[in-house]
Amino acid sequence: MFPLARHTVLRAARSQLYPSSRALNQSALSRLLSTLAVLEQRDGKLQTSSLAAIAAAQKLGGSITAFVAGNAVKGTAAAEAAKIKGLEKVVAVENAAYDKGLPENYAPLLVENIKNGGYTHVIAGHSAFGKNLLPRVAALLDVQQVSDITGIESEDTFVRPIYAGNAILTVQSTDPIKLITVRGTAFQGTETEGGTAEIVDGTDPNAPCPTEWVSEELAKSERPDLATAERVVSGGRGLKSKEDFDRLIPPLADALGAAIGASRAAVDSGFADNSLQVGQTGKNVAPQLYLCAGISGAIQHLAGMKDSKVIAAINKDPDAPIFQVADVGLVGDLFEKVPELTEKLKQ
């Protein structure tokens, strides 16, 4: 078992001060909250999911400690994290065995450091890293994870979409430690400069790892990252072939300085790489502009892009469901409209 002292204090303070959780005085409560933001790093560089975890921790209030582990991270990812505004300290564990974030040994490592810190909340991004890691941590701590949250109502109440975003669930956790993954598009605005957090050594239990990281193949692109781009141009099955997708979509994306996305039908048909899929089983995006052509607007696609600020759609079918969520719609043949639009944007 691990010490629950901080939580017990929190509960006692709450019950003395407030008859109901609705009447919580957030500022008094926030002094008792302490969150561990689990940072994801790749080759010593912090990933955007880490910033989302910190943004969520800031929304929650209270003190924030960041955690990062991997090969020589103190001089790289931990130093980068120390500059983030609002962090009290950065706990770093330097060991190459944790570099790839394998959950088999990373989970016991994290549990050890959670126990040491007595945190009330542990937050990670809802990326492959967070999704892989936190369920094991939850099992080891015997608490229930709250996944993929898009909102924080109070210290124990969180909002998360279910059924591909068709229903929104408000969930209250009674667990002593709230273990949470956060949707990146819902938590933004972390200031990456101006902080002066202290970097301290974490505990390394040197847990054995029964799996071995062998290799990975990453799609490389000079374009903006799809998950965080300000503008996204997506193509669907209406593009008809990979040749047409490559002929029409990249020039339009270039004209807008946008990332490229695709529907699952386009990915399954081989028009675009799997890493470009937007939707329930792909990436969640919320750019300033989401411009799509030849995409019908199936609910599974909408689940990944309907939080975009402006949605523009080109489709030859005026009854296509995409027009129900689009702010701007163009009914027409994409083989004419896309090159025309690209030319106009270039001018």
Contacts to ligand FAD by CB under 6 A:
236-238, 263-266, 277-282, 294-296, 298, 300-301, 304, 314-317, 320, 333-335
CB 294 to ligand FAD: min, Å: 4
In the chain, where does DSSP find H-type helix?
Answer: 5-17, 26-30, 48-60, 77-82, 103-117, 128-141, 242-256, 264-268, 299-305, 322-325, 334-346
CB 275 to ligand FAD: min, Å: 12
Nearer of residues 146 and 266 to ligand FAD, judged by Cβ: 266
| DSSP state string for 118-131 | T-SEEEEESSHHHH
CB 242 to ligand FAD: min, Å: 13
CB 268 to ligand FAD: min, Å: 8
- Whether residue 202 contacts residue 92, with contact meaning beta carbons closer than 8 Å, is answered with yes
Nearer of residues 117 and 304 to ligand FAD, judged by Cβ: 304
Nearer of residues 100 and 183 to ligand FAD, judged by Cβ: 183
Nearer of residues 198 and 336 to ligand FAD, judged by Cβ: 336
Q: Indicate the burial class of 347 (C-beta count within 10 angstroms; 0-12, 13-18, 19 or more).
A: exposed
- How distant is the alpha carbon of residue 54 from its chain centre? 11
- Whether residue 200 contacts residue 92, with contact meaning beta carbons closer than 8 Å, is answered with yes
> Three-class SS of residue 242?
helix
Spatial distance between the Cα atoms of 17 and 65, rounded to a whole number of angstroms:
27
CB 259 to ligand FAD: min, Å: 15
CB 179 to ligand FAD: min, Å: 26
CB 270 to ligand FAD: min, Å: 13
Nearer of residues 21 and 269 to ligand FAD, judged by Cβ: 269
Residue 219 Cα distances to 76, 245, 308, angstroms: 23, 17, 24
CB 188 to ligand FAD: min, Å: 22
Nearer of residues 44 and 304 to ligand FAD, judged by Cβ: 304
Main-chain dihedrals φ then ψ at residue 314, nearest 5 degrees: -115, 125
Sheet with 178-182: strands ordered across: 145-149, 178-182, 121-125, 34-38, 63-70, 89-94, 198-201
Residue 23 Cα distances to 15, 58, 152, angstroms: 11, 21, 16
CB 274 to ligand FAD: min, Å: 11
User: Judging by DSSP bridges, how do beta strands 157-162 and 151-152 pair with one another?
Assistant: antiparallel
- Whether residue 332 contacts residue 294, with contact meaning beta carbons closer than 8 Å, is answered with no
Nearer of residues 247 and 316 to ligand FAD, judged by Cβ: 316
Nearer of residues 15 and 281 to ligand FAD, judged by Cβ: 281
Question: By beta-carbon distance, which residue lies closest to ligand FAD?
Answer: 279
Nearer of residues 114 and 320 to ligand FAD, judged by Cβ: 320
Beta carbons within 10 angstroms of residue 338's beta carbon: 25
Spatial distance between the Cα atoms of 229 and 33, rounded to a whole number of angstroms:
33
Residue type, 22: R
